[in-house]
Amino acid sequence: MTAGSHNTALSLVHASDEVDGVVVLTLSHPPANTLSNALVSELTAKLVTLATGPNAPAVVLTGAGERFFCAGGDMKEAVDFDANVMVERMAGFHALLCALENYPRPLVCAVNGWCVGGRIEMALFTDVVYAAVGARFVFPEIKHGMLPAVKGISRVRSVAGDRAARRLLLGGEPVDAATAEAIGIVDQVVERNELLATAVADARSAAAKSPAVFAALKRALHSDTTGRPDEEQLRVTLADARTVFNDPAAFRSALAQFPSGVTIVTTRSETGTLHGFTASSFAALSLEPPLILVCLDRGADRFPVFMAAKHFVVNIVTDAHADLALKFATKGENKFADGNFELDEAGNPLLPDAAAVISCELEQAVPGGDHVILIGRVRDARTGAGKPVTWYRGGFLPLGERAA
């Protein structure tokens, strides 16, 4: 019997829908979320599946219920302490720690109650650990004749230091969240009612960072090349540099071969402030129903406003708007200061002399890597007299005579 051979019809790890590049995985094994073989193998499989998808999300790991984040190994399964059962069980757990360690995207842990044994080891293979004020941490294995995984033991030692690791592992006594923070196994203690929101917000902001750089940093942090020969460290650096720099450059250069139109996409926030950004990713999506799309960078300052917006307007710009389009592509500018815009019936800004103005309701926001695809249901479309300008190889290019 292997950890993976347990067949349970009931899912023990609930995966939320992906929102803003973040998936919440909730251990759900009442009453104490024990790490049964089935739960370990299901969690491992979920992480591996998420990691190998085209756009792996950031993951927040938490436990269902109030009292237990996770009560460690399932003692019912270890009742006979049969060596073969224990060996396979520990092999399954080791595989889970490897899946956590190798997860390329942000992993944030939200500890909502007792965090016991193997569950601490798991938390230590995530990137950030938040704990609720009442959380407790304990390695009880020494009191039950059980063994933590060696991979977990060395991780506890490298994170908390030798003295604290000895106290935790050899003493078997619980420590509270503040002590766990002081010895470094928790990054921050927060109020219970703020725990999940804090963890999700952190994961969301980490998810907006460059996936290639994030993955390279995690690889380097986990492989710890300290003391290895210089040539080996250089080889790893160069391999990472190729992944991070070369491929995106080739990709960008290929994309620059595609001439596109230029739009300024605008909206109005709930508090009445006006927002906009220059976008060349506009495209028609559907005639019936009338849908368009535009891709918005998750790193843009306007991102939260557009995600919360009910309406937005796509203004297709002309040669005369080149400077304005550059202004709307620059961070921090007071973009509406020159008064080029009028307000439509819904109060959204539109450019009266644009080549075309398309007013939309936000129908859907679909995650796509470091961008989100805003799908708009067209409510109004007007054509202006101006000739649209194109964007090609990083510059504006007026359309030729044939487009007149």
Ligand X SMILES: Cc1cc2nc3c(=O)[nH]c(=O)nc-3n(C[C@H](O)[C@H](O)[C@H](O)COP(=O)(O)O)c2cc1C
Q: Which residues bind ligand X (CB under 6 A)?
A: 262, 277-281, 295-297, 300-302, 328-331, 391
Residue 300 beta carbon to ligand X: minimum distance, rounded to whole angstroms: 4
Is the Cβ of residue 112 or residue 267 nearer to ligand X in the bound state? 267
Is the Cβ of residue 147 or residue 366 nearer to ligand X in the bound state? 366
CB 114 within 8 A of CB 69: yes
Is the Cβ of residue 93 or residue 328 nearer to ligand X in the bound state? 328
Is the Cβ of residue 19 or residue 373 nearer to ligand X in the bound state? 373
Residue 104 beta carbon to ligand X: minimum distance, rounded to whole angstroms: 23
Q: At which residue do the structure tokens 């927002």 appear?
A: 275
Q: Name the CA radius of gyration of the chain, rounded.
A: 26
Q: At which residue do the structure tokens 């944030």 appear?
A: 108
Residue 20 beta carbon to ligand X: minimum distance, rounded to whole angstroms: 14
Is the Cβ of residue 69 or residue 391 nearer to ligand X in the bound state? 391
Residue 338 beta carbon to ligand X: minimum distance, rounded to whole angstroms: 16
Residue nearest to ligand X (CB): 281
Is the Cβ of residue 36 or residue 318 nearer to ligand X in the bound state? 318
Residue 272 beta carbon to ligand X: minimum distance, rounded to whole angstroms: 18
Cα separation, 72 vs 359, in Å, equals: 54
Residue 75 beta carbon to ligand X: minimum distance, rounded to whole angstroms: 52
Is the Cβ of residue 128 or residue 294 nearer to ligand X in the bound state? 294
Sheet holding 107-111, edge to edge: 13-15, 22-27, 58-63, 107-111, 128-132, 188-190
235: which residues sit within 8 A by CB, 6+ positions away?
Answer: none
Residue 373 beta carbon to ligand X: minimum distance, rounded to whole angstroms: 10
Is the Cβ of residue 28 or residue 390 nearer to ligand X in the bound state? 390
Nearest CA to 104 among 13, 216, 187?
Answer: 216
Could you tell me the two tokens for 237? 């650096």
C-beta neighbour count of 292 within 10 angstroms:
21
Q: At which residue do the structure tokens 């080791």 appear?
A: 94
Residue 158 beta carbon to ligand X: minimum distance, rounded to whole angstroms: 38
Amino acid (1-letter code) at residue 272 = G
